[in-house]
Structure 1
Amino acid sequence: MTHRKGIRALIVAAACLLSSFGVQATELQRIAESGVIRAGTRADAVPFAFRGPNGTPQGFSVDLLEEIRAATEARLGKPVRLDLSIVTPSNRLQLVEAGELDIVCEITTPTWQREKTIDFSIPFFRDGTRILAYRETLRQTPDINDMVVGIAEGTTTATILEEAMPGIVTKPYPTMDDAFAALNRGEIQGVSNIGIILLGLARKLEPTRSVVLLPRTEPLSNEAMACILPQNDSEWRDFVNQTIVGLTSGLADYRGRYMEIYDKWFGRDGMMVYPLDRSTRDYLLQTNVWSR
């Protein structure tokens, strides 16, 4: 038996032994036994996570999950498959808390309230909250404080809008696709999320219509995006964090695996052009607080 196969056998044996004594196995132990990472992502968060032409989820977050899968496979020394499910803003936390999913990566913002039931990885992206409106709408409703703004249920967007613009009227929808459909029907005058998601959805759903991101000068808030992880499993969280940190190697010079994935979706030949600014690059680099 090789050294790697011996380690793998020990991991599986340990998971079985823990289960026999009623002790919950860690995610890595469970994955070693099953060979499957049960992951979740969104279908309405272009270009982070959305359904491709054949219905299969794709996007920046899906590629991140694939990197985590490959790293897990290398760690365990055995094939690991990614079993990808579609989640929504309203059920993503519960699915991880209930133990149905090992990880969810899309555009979730960490908050202390959410941390009470689940854990988060270090951030893998950052962007600002804005409101998108069609340019022709601004002729009739030029002031965003007079708009009814659509948001996705289960997100932090409503709180951000209320804190930035007290009294603003928001209307929740199950998904961002539903919010955009309401915008097209004239039920609302704007939709709100992080800017990059709004632009991605606009280009996917209404590519011929001119849109405006409000406020025009700067976002209402800056939000980090992180993966959702089960609570009290430091081994799995540390492994995911180490994988994300590893992707940022070379990022200081706009090189490396993170930039390859970023350019695939946000570069000149990507789905939408959204250059990685220096402040966001530095923010991502500063999340690596571990010494070698």
Structure 2
Amino acid sequence: MLKKLLITSVTGLLLTIGIKPSIAGTLVENVARSGFLTVGTSMNAVPYSYINADEQLDGFSIDIIKLIHKQLEEELDRDIVLDFVPVSTPQEALRKMITGEIDIACNGVFTWERDKYVDYTLRYTISGIRLLFPKGKIPTDTSFANTKIGIPPQTFVSNAIKLAHPNATFVEVATFEDGATALKEGKIDALAGDTMMLDGLRQQINSEGFEQYPPFSENPYARFGVGCIVPQNNSTFLNIANFTIAKMMEGYLINDPEMTTLVNKWVGENGVVSIVSPEAIKSFFENTINNHEQIPFTK
């Protein structure tokens, strides 16, 4: 009854704002019929998903999508075309998924509110919430009273920062990219966000000109795993995605060259973002596998 009421309320909300939900077969059935898997993705979120120097869509999340794509092709025994659709915010990804415009979107952080409308895959990496300041500009008064902090459209980020620094001045930014621009132009004193994205932003703007708070010797304001969202009630596709992510983790843990290279390319000592230690990655992967099933790793 609760599920039925929830579906009814969501449908009513979507119709009220002029959006018609897509309800035509399961995701796997639709992909098998059409030959397309539509992926909602950010285009400027280093190291998750971004346009690289060769004008190609790249990133840790993109590599995860490609692994899921490969597994899906094996399961369906047919070629599948990946169709990437830009999304700028978690809210946009959620809306496009509910309306059937996209089949999967990564770079996702679990919240109970979003979980009412979509399902989450296993998380494929870990991150946290910190602030990015221009180098040497972190106030000595770390209550940050009157410090202008840019808050992107992510409720879990907003809640963590506002709880830690209630006397700061909060500046809502429409997208993470808008927050980056405001920080570069001095319109805000600091930008809140995902630690890995903040480090990617630091490298894009000025690798020596910015630093994060709290320092990496201290805990972040909050920790979280990063995964993908998929449409609700599509267990076959969710299982394929979860199996793929777990297999990637298992490969990394047993030092499979392909999976080790994939992970190390993005995170760890020599990754695009080096702030996540190999020990933390290994522990996270082990805990995930232990809570599911160890997969005998084969190509």
Q: TM-score, normalised by structure 1?
A: 0.84
> Which residue of structure 2 lines up, in the alignment, with residue 246 of structure 1?
247
What SS does the aligned partner of 1:192 have? strand
SS in structure 2 at match of 1:162: helix
Structure 2: unaligned runs, 5 residues or longer: 1-21
Q: Distance in 2 between matches of 1:73 and 1:162?
A: 45
Task: Tell me how far 1:98 sits from its aligned partner.
Answer: 1.1
Which residue number corresponds to residue 219 of structure 2?
218
Q: Which residue of 2 aligns with 1:128?
A: 128
- String of CA shifts for 1:87-108, please: whole Å, max 9, x gaps: 12230111111111100012x2
The structure-2 alpha-carbon separation of the partners of 1:260 and 1:130, relative to structure 1 and needing over 3 Å to count, comes to same
Per-residue CA distance 1:113-137 (angstroms, 9 max, x = gap): 1111111111111111111101232
Structure 2 partner of 1:9? none
In the TM superposition, what are the counterparts of 1:255-274 in structure 2 within 5 Å?
A: 255=256, 257-266=258-267, 270-274=271-275
| Residue 285 of structure 2: aligned partner | 284
Q: Over aligned residues, Cα RMSD in angstroms?
A: 2.2
- Contact 2:143 2:167 (C-alpha < 8 Å) held by counterparts: no
Structure 2 residue 80 is matched with structure 1 residue 85: no
**8 Å Cα contact 1:149-1:190 kept in structure 2:** yes
The CA deviation at 1:237 is 0.8
- 1:270 CA drift (Å): 4.0
Q: 1:253: Cα distance to partner?
A: 4.7
Letter in 2 for 1:164: A
In structure 2, relative to structure 1, the CA distance for the partners of 1:141 and 1:44 (3 Å cut) is farther
- The offset of 1:50, in angstroms, is 1.1
Question: Does residue 189 of the first structure (1) align with residue 203 of the second (2)?
Answer: no
Instruction: Give a deviation string over 1:181-224, Cα, whole Å, max 9, x none.
Output: 11122111101112121111110122352x22111222111011
Whether the aligned pair in 1 keeps the contact of 2:253 and 2:285 (CA below 8 Å) is no
Question: CA–CA distance in 2 between the matches of 1:261 and 1:221?
Answer: 26
Query: Would the aligned equivalents of 2:153 and 2:172 in 1 still touch at CA under 8 Å?
Result: yes
Superposition map of 1:220-235 within 5 A? 220-235=221-236
Aligned counterparts of 2:93 and 2:252: Cα–Cα separation in 1: 30
Identity of aligned residues (%): 24
SS at match of 2:246: helix
Amino acid in structure 2 at the alignment position of 1:166: P
Equivalent AA in structure 2 for residue 290 of structure 1 = H
Map 1:1-292 to 2 at 5 A: 24-89=24-89, 90-106=91-107, 108-138=108-138, 143=142, 145-146=144-145, 147-209=147-209, 211-216=210-215, 217-253=218-254, 255=256, 257-266=258-267, 270-288=271-289, 289-291=291-293
Tell me if the contact between 2:98 and 2:231 (Cα under 8 Å) persists in the aligned partners. yes
Please state whether the residue corresponding to 1:156 is helix, strand or coil: helix
Distance in structure 1 (CA, Å) of the matches to 2:253 and 2:74: 26
| Deviation for aligned residue 1:44 | 2.5
Seen in structure 2, the aligned counterparts of structure 1 residues 51 and 141 have a Cα distance that, compared at 3 Å, is farther
Structure 2 CA distance, aligned partners of 1:68 and 1:235?
Answer: 13
Relative distance call for 1:112 and 1:47 in structure 2 (3 A) is same
Partners of 1:248 and 1:257 within 8 A in 2? no
Which deviates further from its counterpart, 141-150 or 88-97? Answer: 141-150
CA distance in 2, matches of 1:112, 1:226: 14
In structure 1, the gaps of 5 or more residues are: 1-21
